[in-house]
Amino acid sequence: MKPEDIWRGIDRLADDQGITPARLARYAGLDQAVFSAGRRRNNRGDLRWPALESLARVLAVTNTSIADFVGFMHADPASRAAFRIPVMAFDKAAQARYYDEDGFPAGPAWDRMDFPDLQDRRCFGLVVDSDDHLPVYRPGDILICAPGMSLRRGDRIVYKRGELGLSIAALVRQTPFRVDLASLDGTQSESYPARDISWISRIAWARQ
């Protein structure tokens, strides 16, 4: 085993989580620069060994076993047809503590599921757990949300407003100042100041 093997494993673990190594470090309670290129080499330009404590904290926060990490160190990522995305029940996911300061899923409370690669590596899944969204979405359906994808008129979205729960709607219009929405059946409409929307994500796909 060489230092580059460990660093490769860290990079691939971060990629599997759909985040950067810097954000991975932050999730683990570390200085976000601890995995930066500048920190990886000594004054002679040789690769350092990552600190054991840092590695242990990263594995703990991502619920990654030693065996899985060894797989990240040595497996060819191109051979993996899918990557693992965070998944949580729709109503539970409304709680702010399950997200980082940028609004992306964070922490070990999220489950993981394999899903084919999307353009947005930050995508996550929400499991519908009530009848509130019938007849469009049924309990057990998994909504794949892609916060990095651009929004267009008519897109189905998930959004969070202030301290309220999550909601599903169709996007009518979004400006820097307002967000106009319609119910999925088109019978109701809502308009909110953009500052009142904590986050908004396009529903890229629904697993029904």
Domain ranges of the chain: 3-79, 82-207
Return the minimum-mean-pLDDT range out of 37-51, 116-130, 149-163: 116-130
pLDDT at 107 over 90: no
CA distances from 184 to 80, 129, 138, 190 (A): 35, 17, 13, 12
Burial letters 97-107, b for 16+ CB under 10 A, else e: eebeeeebbbe
pLDDT for 3: 86
pTM: 0.62
Question: Which amino acid is residue 176, in one-letter code?
Answer: P
DSSP state of 128: -
Which pair of tokens denotes residue 200?
């908004």
pLDDT range class, residue 82, cuts 50, 70, 90: low
pLDDT for 119: 61
Domain 82-207 CATH assignment equals 3.40.50.280: no
Question: Which amino acid is residue 57, in one-letter code?
Answer: R
Closest CA to 72 of 55, 54, 51, 47: 55
**Environment class of 39 (CB within 10 Å of its CB; exposed 0-12, middle 13-18, buried 19+):** middle
CATH code linked to domain 3-79: 1.10.260
pLDDT tens across 59-75, in order?
Answer: 998 888 887 888 888 76
